Chains A and B, each alone.
Chain A
Amino acid sequence: MNTASLLVFDGLLLLSIVSLAWASLATRDERRSVILFMAFGLVLAMAWGRLLAPDVALAEAAIGAGLSGALLLAAVRKQPRPLSSGSTRGSRYLDGAQVRTVSRWGVTLLCAALAGALAWALLHAFNNAPQDALHRSISANLEASGVSNPVTAVLLNFRAYDTLLELAVLLTAVLGIISLGQTTTGYTPAGPVFEGLVRWLVPILILTAGYLLWVGAHAPGGAFQAGATLAAAGVVLRLAGRRIIGLPDGFMLRIVMVAGIGVFLLVGLTVLVLGRPFLDYPPAWAGALILMIETAAMLSIAATLLLAFVGGQPRSMPARAVANQQHEEMS
Chain B
Amino acid sequence: MLTAQLLYGLTGCVIVALGLRGALLHPSLLQRVVAINVMGAGVFMMLIAIAYRGPDLPPDPVPQALVLTGIVVAVSATALALALARRLHVEQGND
B contact face: mostly helix, strand, loop, or mixed: helix
Tell me if A51 and B79 are in contact (CB < 8 A). Answer: no
- Hey, which chain A residues are within 8 Å of B94, CB to CB? 79, 87-88, 91
A71-93 CB mask vs B (1 if < 8 Å, else 0) is: 11011101100100001101111
Determine whether the beta carbon of A25 is less than 8 Å from that of B26: yes
Please indicate the chain A residues that have their CB under 8 angstroms from the CB of B3 in the complex: 7, 10
Q: Mark B50-84, 1 if CB is under 8 A from A, else 0.
A: 11110101111110111111011111111110111
Residues of chain B at interface, number, CB under 8 A: 80
Q: Do residues B46 and A122 form an inter-chain contact, with CB atoms below 8 A? A: yes
Known: A53-B64, A98-B27. A75 touches B21 (CB 8 A): no
Partner of A150, one of B10, B61, B89: B61
Chain B residues with CB under 8 Å of chain A are 1, 3-22, 24-31, 33-35, 37-38, 41, 44-46, 48-53, 55, 57-62, 64-69, 71-80, 82-92, 94-95
Complex alpha-carbon distance, A24 and B78, angstroms: 16
What are 9 A-B pairs with beta-carbon distances under 8 A?
A33-B30, A64-B71, A72-B34, A79-B94, A91-B94, A108-B21, A135-B53, A155-B65, A224-B72
Choose the segment among A167-175, A197-205, A250-258 that binds chain B (4+ C-beta atoms closer than 8 Å). A167-175
Interface contact B61-A51, CB-CB below 8 Å: no
* Contact assessment for B77 and A71 in the assembled complex, using a CB-CB cutoff below 8 Å: no
Closest residue of A by beta carbon distance from B46: A122
* Cβ distance B93 to chain A, nearest Cβ, rounded Å: 8
Interface of A is mostly: helix
Chain A nearest CB from B43 CB (Å) reads 9
Tell me the A residues contacting B by CB distance below 8 Å.
6-7, 10-11, 14, 17-18, 21-22, 24-25, 28, 30, 33-34, 37, 40-41, 44, 47-48, 50-53, 55-56, 59-60, 63-64, 67-68, 71-72, 74-76, 78-79, 82, 87-88, 90-94, 97-99, 104, 107-108, 111-112, 114-116, 118-119, 122-123, 125-127, 131-132, 134-135, 138-139, 150-151, 153-155, 159, 162-163, 166, 169-170, 172-174, 176-177, 180-181, 222, 224, 301, 304-305, 308-309, 311-312, 327, 330-331
Chain A contacts for B37, CB-based, 8 A: 37, 64, 68
What residues of chain A lie closer than 8 Å to B53, measured between beta carbons?
131-132, 135
CB pair B14–A51 under 8 Å, yes or no, is: no
